[in-house]
Amino acid sequence: MKISKTNIDGCFELTPRVFEDERGYFFESFNQSVFELETGAKPFFVQDNQSYSRRGVLRGLHFQKGAFAQAKLVRVLEGEVLDVAVDLRSNSATYGNIVRSVLSAENKKQLYVPRGCAHGFVTLSKTALFFYKCDNFYNHESEGGILYNDPALDIDWIIDANELLISEKDKVLPTMEEYGLTLNQE
């Protein structure tokens, strides 16, 4: 497995070695020992989540606060998404940085999103089956989010804005500024 750094500290893209033949394929999707050795991170995953979405569905940008903060290992089992992480850790050297990665059933890539980052994705294919592991349990009172189209973030979601399907809850999330976060843009 190839593990690559991104422009967010502690956020990594994982690309597996895929073994294919006439029967199909096999790959190791996660190995704790290799992951720890390559990244220094030691997640202990306690919850798996899965969602099914059609083209244009945008979910995010979400995070869990405080004692319920979550690191996630995300991947696509069917279809293709644009996956996005935003570093919200004010004490991080990469605070405010954004990672955009196309994850698909075809490329089998995964993204490890550390605690303290907002996360979201948009479905690029007709449908997508999205799967992720979390290192902490979900807690409704600890959920937070940043508006997907916050001008301060200027995220290119690839899909035209009039094609996006967004929950009412996600349409009214605060901007970075409204949430009390500011970006150091020099």
The residues annotated as belonging to the active site are 62, 132
Q: Are 105 and 78 in contact (CB under 8 A)?
A: yes
Cα separation, 78 vs 128, in Å, equals 5
Amino acid present at 116 = G
Q: Are 66 and 129 in contact (CB under 8 A)?
A: no
Which whole-number Å values give the CA distances from 54 to 13, 51, 125, 134, in the listed order?
24, 10, 7, 23
Starting from the edge strand earliest in sequence, which strands make up the sheet with 127-134, in order? 2-5, 12-15, 110-113, 72-78, 127-134, 47-54
Cα separation, 74 vs 76, in Å, equals 7
